[in-house]
Structure 1
Amino acid sequence: MICVDVSGVRLEQPDKVLFEDLDVTVTRGDRVAVVGVNGSGKTTLLRILTGALQPDRGQVRFGRGARITMLEQDPVLPPGTVAEYLGDGWEIAAVATSLGVQPLFDRQTDELSGGQAKRVALAKVLVDNAGTGDAENAHDMIVLDEPTNHLDLEAIEWLESRLVSMSAALVLVTHDRHALDRLTTQVGPSKVVELDHGRAFIHQAAAGSSAYSTYLDARAERVEREAQEESTRKILARKELAWLRRGAPARTSKPKARLRTATEIVSGGPRDLGVRANDLELGAGTTRLGSQVVELLDVGQRFETDGDPVTIFRGVDLVIEPGARLAVVGPNGSGKTTLLDIIAGRRAAALGTVKVGTTVVVGYADQHSSSLDPELTVRRTVAGPLREPDHEDKALLEKFWFDSTAQYAPVRMLSGGEKRRLQLVMVLARQPNLLILDEPTNDLDLDTLRSLEDYLDDWPGALVVASHDRSFLDRVADHVLAIEPGGSMRRVPGGVGGWLAERAAQAGRTGAPTSSSPTRTASTRGKPKASRSGPSPSTIGRRLRETEQSMVKAQKRVDDLQAELAAMTDHTALAERGTVLADAQQKLDSLEAEWLELAELAE
């Protein structure tokens, strides 16, 4: 059954064409992902596919009797209680429990936060489709705009399984690359619609293969034909593809110079950025961090609800050392944001002691949108009121896909995702040495996520992050700390995947044994202290990153010398430069050998 057929569609804004000559057909059972940078028109296209918006040109035809529903990025719920909106029944109870909605049943819909309203609206879409598509109210096509926002890791895993089982067509926009890969790897048809600078490209996957991977490969071939100067995007996407193809067991730090042999892939975005990722000294202005960053001793937090004290977490011992890369995970409501606030000094701990080093400069990107002056330009917003924008502001903005034109645009012209991206740049521009990120991936496009990951690869400070994006956590975090039911906290072996497997086992969804609970003090150290037999893991991790950065510079030196030699004709000059090249290559080989030794120690 054809749900919707789009032919020759064009839509433009006053300052640009979002897309034109777009042709796509969605039939029942299809899996379609829409990708593109913030502001490229992804949400607009979803609204055209549902009939909520008419294009400037082209035809949109809907199948006879096709039933289509959409989860908006910021849904507006009808008045009444959540229970009245969702209805009752076992299916509703099951979905509401999995999405963390059941405690909201007695709340009025106009009292919900944006994240709560999003989860309630998602529950309604899923309930109406009853998992199999055979219910009386089931839809033929389900359109989801950022469905994983405001969900914890367990809920996202459950949602993926639920969507895979549905027989309806699925059209979605999401920044979650794990979800993109899984939901576009189907026995039936799957495709990726890519929006890139006013153009639209359709990437169809072969049966059983991932349309997301197909898109990455096809994009690489197209951009290779179009322009060699897309080096920034090729580097970022090359890292991602190499990381993806190595598989989960190998998704740990690897020498960045060795990723040059991976399949060249790129992702769309502004052209002629004028800045190469490796040429940008990303942390050059970061304040030097002393030996002490933050230490939590027997910290706990509690609040009063109706006069009764409620403990969120307790007994947390945590040492954040220079170079730390910590991910904090836990179900929604477990206290992740509260813990980050305590680490950042934004909230006092009810119990215990917090020690902060004298050299610490905190940069905090939280979940809430800080106020932005709509009339200020992007570059003026980043620089702040006390100084003029400089070349470092320009380079940082370009790193996060604000090209020269976008930097002079007023904030009011930005999309919601672009504003979120700007807020992230504002935090980084303050040059902190302790970076705290609370759900940083919400509303960011895939290009910005890759840029942020690349930035953090070379960033010299300490990092603490809470996120529901598994791919992001795998890339940026060395250690995973879990807030457990009951408020205890411990270090998790196996990273995010290990924690999810444990939670599934504890919930009885698999036959895997549950893990035992380790002692509090030993398990909650973000970075274990050095043993007598060798350097501490934090020292090894820091040396690994430093060696990787040196390898990148050494590889660039070798590449530059090889290019010089290729252009030379004078035999004397060739001999001289050849000697220099040999020395540079020897230095690179030495660094790679050092990296391998450190990697073995880390493992």
Structure 2
Amino acid sequence: MAHLLGADGISLRIATRTLLSDVSLGLDDGDRVGVVGPNGAGKSTLLRILAGLSEADAGRVTRVGGSTLGMLDQRDDVPDGVTVLDLVHGSADIHEWASDARVRAVHEGLLADLDLDAPVTTLSGGQRRRVALAGLLADDPDVLLLDEPTNHLDVEGVAWLAEHLATRYGRPGARGALVVVTHDRWFLDAVCTRMWEVRGDGSGAVDGYDGGYGAYILARAERARLAAVAAEKRDNLLRKELAWLHRGAKARSSKPKFRLDAAAALIADEPPPRDELELTQMATKRLGKDVLDLEDVTVVLPPRGDGPGSDPAGRVLFDHVTWRLGPGDRYGVVGVNGVGKTTLLALLTGRRSPDGGRVRRGKTIEVAQLSQEVHELDELGHLTAVEVVERERGRIEIDGKELTAAQLTERLGFTRERAYTKVESLSGGERRRLQLLRLLVAEPNVLLLDEPTNDLDTDTLAALEDLLDGWPGTLIVVSHDRYLLERVADRQVALLGDGRIRDLPGGVEEYLALRRGARAGASDSATSYGTSGAGLRGGGVESSAPVRTQAEIRVAKKAISRIERRLERIAEEEAQLHEDMVTQATDFEAVGGLDARLKELATEKGELEMAWLEAAEVAE
């Protein structure tokens, strides 16, 4: 296995912060490395040093002669007049790349919806990133460094990129190595065989782990366990030392320096805390049985121009859709860009009215939405993070303990310095965490998250998921992050651009199968394992005789797991409803409402049980 790139004794300080200290790393043929760590730890800086785009204070980076290197940076400076084709292929003639199946696959995976002759400066930020990524993959460098390549890619695009990279750099005998910085944990597990963790704790260390993200988490858990054992031992020794010092006779007061030194050594041995972030579950207002219902809703975009790409009739985003959200429902929403995901959230929040039908809102609901760009903070840029929280609520009681706004921001991972930094100077990840805290202190009972993983590191995402595990309200998550969707959502739905909301008993795998079928011109024949969920009108995928490939069997097994989790939740809710009927037996109106909810659950359970049977036939 040939050596391609090495970093020896790399060190870097920025102002008073140590980002990297005596770091040595190496890349060989076939290496696929994922880089993780807190925001601001120096992950992007490390990549730029390896690429030769930034200089370290000490150490050196060496590369094997004749090897090529390419990097996808988070910066996208492009000269005026450069077209998509120019940026991807330079001055190469069409016949030089069009005959290459690998390059054609790159075009299909990343550029299918773009005009190759369009100037790059006219594209959106996400489209420019895809063009830059396509250019790198077409060049096919020996060492490929990617900084957040999944940003602006939908679920389908992330799956395509993972398969492409795993095939290119993971096939037997492949020449080349890959290093990728990303917060997408599904992508890390699907692509990477090694992990580098940039600690970001001031030590400047970069730790290496074998395996993908799952193996890295297991190794970190073991490290935490060993640290806990060491801490317990240290605490016991400290108690003994302090007890001895307390009991020491005055006559010996000049002699305990050895003991003092021993105690100081024990305290100095205490490692800095790895995870200072804590997302706290706050109260939520009580939800009634009615939450949000879309009833026969139609949404039509206004007509657009008469030139290329025009749509004089207006595009139908939703065509007589009915979708009912009950208390405690947890949905993940997937779909390609432009099919109406953001519009769906706008309907639920009341920021947009339907062109037909109506949106029924429960009397007790309090909706909060975490938007993609958190522009809500723009008008508060002159305030500090603490002041922003104080505007919502100065104090809040959690677990019987009253906390101030400053204490809440500290729990969310803000140091004292950053907590009193103006919002306009905060990083993207800090702004997103701050906006999430603003939403939570308002104690909503319906939470809408629009691409919540943007700008958040893996530790913050884990804390967010832990918080959402105990979220008692109704949750809707729009995301391209498969790991997040499968972790926090009980059910998933898709917007495929046909005006409907489709239930996905098989989760993201089923969605990808539907998209593959659509591209092949056979979306109606894509295999499904169940009818539409309760309250979905025209949202289900028609069943057909399943083709029992390994892929379809995996989809079926995921469907079974997802359905069983939902059935467990239904059983728990039914038990609670029966208890409520006993305690409210004299309140006929309340009993009637509880009985109506029981009937809704019975209908949903029947559909899920049928879907489970159909999936089980395929999974056998």
Q: TM-score, normalised by structure 1?
A: 0.72
1:501-520 → structure 2 map (5 Å cutoff): 501-505=513-517, 507=519, 514-515=526-527
Structure 1 residues 204 and 357: alpha-carbon distance in aligned structure 2, compared to 1, 3 A threshold: closer
Q: CA deviation at 1:299?
A: 1.4
Question: Is contact 2:371-2:449 (8 Å) kept?
Answer: yes
Residues 277-327 of structure 1: CA deviation (Å, up to 9, x unaligned) = 7xx5x132x222222211101212222211331112322111111111011
Q: For residues 325 and 472 of structure 2, what CA distance do their matches in structure 1 show?
A: 14
Aligned to 1:132: none
Residues 339-374 of structure 1: CA deviation (Å, up to 9, x unaligned) = 111111122222221112232222111112324455
Matched to 2:445, the amino acid is N
| Residue of structure 1 aligned with 2:156, choices 154, 157, 160 | 154
Q: For residues 500 and 132 of structure 2, what CA distance do their matches in structure 1 show?
A: 32
Stretch deviating more after TM superposition (460-469 or 341-350)? 341-350
Matched to 1:103, the amino acid is L
Aligned to 2:144: 142
Structure 1 residues 509 and 355: alpha-carbon distance in aligned structure 2, compared to 1, 3 A threshold: closer
Q: For residues 399 and 193 of structure 1, what CA distance do their matches in structure 2 show?
A: 23
Matched to 2:387, the amino acid is R
| Residue of structure 2 aligned with 1:200, choices 201, 205, 208 | 205
Q: CA deviation at 1:499?
A: 2.4
Matched, 1:315 2:299: no
Aligned to 2:291: 293
Matched to 1:338, the amino acid is T
Matched, 1:30 2:38: no
SS in 2 for 1:12: strand
| Residue of structure 1 aligned with 2:130, choices 119, 140, 158 | 119
| Residue of structure 1 aligned with 2:484, choices 467, 472, 483 | 472
Aligned to 1:384: 391
Q: CA deviation at 1:418?
A: 2.8
Matched to 1:192, the amino acid is W
Structure 1 residues 464 and 355: alpha-carbon distance in aligned structure 2, compared to 1, 3 A threshold: same
Question: Is contact 2:395-2:403 (8 Å) kept?
Answer: no
Structure 1 residues 504 and 108: alpha-carbon distance in aligned structure 2, compared to 1, 3 A threshold: same
SS in 2 for 1:102: coil
Stretch deviating more after TM superposition (421-430 or 457-466)? 421-430
Q: CA deviation at 1:38?
A: 1.0
Q: For residues 115 and 454 of structure 2, what CA distance do their matches in structure 1 show?
A: 22
| Residue of structure 2 aligned with 1:541, choices 569, 574, 580 | 569
Matched, 1:430 2:442: yes
Q: CA deviation at 1:543?
A: 7.0
Name the % identity.
39
Question: Is contact 1:481-1:524 (8 Å) kept?
Answer: no
1:276-355 → structure 2 map (5 Å cutoff): 280=280, 282-284=281-283, 286-303=284-301, 304-306=303-305, 307-355=312-360
Aligned to 2:265: none
Aligned to 2:64: 63
Structure 1 residues 301 and 511: alpha-carbon distance in aligned structure 2, compared to 1, 3 A threshold: closer
Q: CA deviation at 1:526?
A: 9.5
* RMSD after superposition: 3.7
Question: Is contact 2:451-2:480 (8 Å) kept?
Answer: yes
Question: Is contact 1:93-1:102 (8 Å) kept?
Answer: no
Aligned to 1:169: 177
Q: For residues 111 and 11 of structure 1, what CA distance do their matches in structure 2 show?
A: 37
Q: For residues 36 and 520 of structure 1, what CA distance do their matches in structure 2 show?
A: 39
Matched to 1:325, the amino acid is R
Q: For residues 39 and 481 of structure 2, what CA distance do their matches in structure 1 show?
A: 18
Question: Is contact 1:317-1:524 (8 Å) kept?
Answer: yes
Structure 1 residues 512 and 290: alpha-carbon distance in aligned structure 2, compared to 1, 3 A threshold: closer
Q: CA deviation at 1:385?
A: 7.4
Q: CA deviation at 1:272?
A: 8.0
Question: Is contact 1:300-1:316 (8 Å) kept?
Answer: yes
SS in 1 for 2:318: strand
Question: Is contact 2:503-2:532 (8 Å) kept?
Answer: no
Q: For residues 522 and 168 of structure 2, what CA distance do their matches in structure 1 show?
A: 22
Q: For residues 546 and 425 of structure 1, what CA distance do their matches in structure 2 show?
A: 32
Q: CA deviation at 1:485?
A: 4.0
Question: Is contact 2:198-2:207 (8 Å) kept?
Answer: yes
Q: For residues 182 and 274 of structure 2, what CA distance do their matches in structure 1 show?
A: 23
Q: Could you say which structure has the larger radius of gyration?
A: 2
SS in 2 for 1:431: coil
SS in 2 for 1:299: strand
Q: For residues 547 and 454 of structure 1, what CA distance do their matches in structure 2 show?
A: 25
Q: For residues 46 and 394 of structure 2, what CA distance do their matches in structure 1 show?
A: 40
Aligned to 1:4: 5
Stretch deviating more after TM superposition (118-127 or 73-82)? 73-82
Q: CA deviation at 1:511?
A: 14
Structure 1 residues 292 and 520: alpha-carbon distance in aligned structure 2, compared to 1, 3 A threshold: closer
| Residue of structure 2 aligned with 1:498, choices 497, 501, 510 | 510
Residues 58-104 of structure 1: CA deviation (Å, up to 9, x unaligned) = 22223323321111224233323323323455365542332255334
Give the paired residue count: 486
Question: Is contact 1:326-1:479 (8 Å) kept?
Answer: yes
Aligned to 1:48: 49
SS in 2 for 1:314: strand
Question: Is contact 1:203-1:218 (8 Å) kept?
Answer: no
Structure 1 residues 410 and 5: alpha-carbon distance in aligned structure 2, compared to 1, 3 A threshold: farther
Structure 1 residues 14 and 40: alpha-carbon distance in aligned structure 2, compared to 1, 3 A threshold: same
Aligned to 1:183: 191
Structure 1 residues 539 and 155: alpha-carbon distance in aligned structure 2, compared to 1, 3 A threshold: closer
Q: For residues 494 and 406 of structure 2, what CA distance do their matches in structure 1 show?
A: 38
Q: For residues 546 and 404 of structure 1, what CA distance do their matches in structure 2 show?
A: 46
Structure 1 residues 546 and 76: alpha-carbon distance in aligned structure 2, compared to 1, 3 A threshold: farther
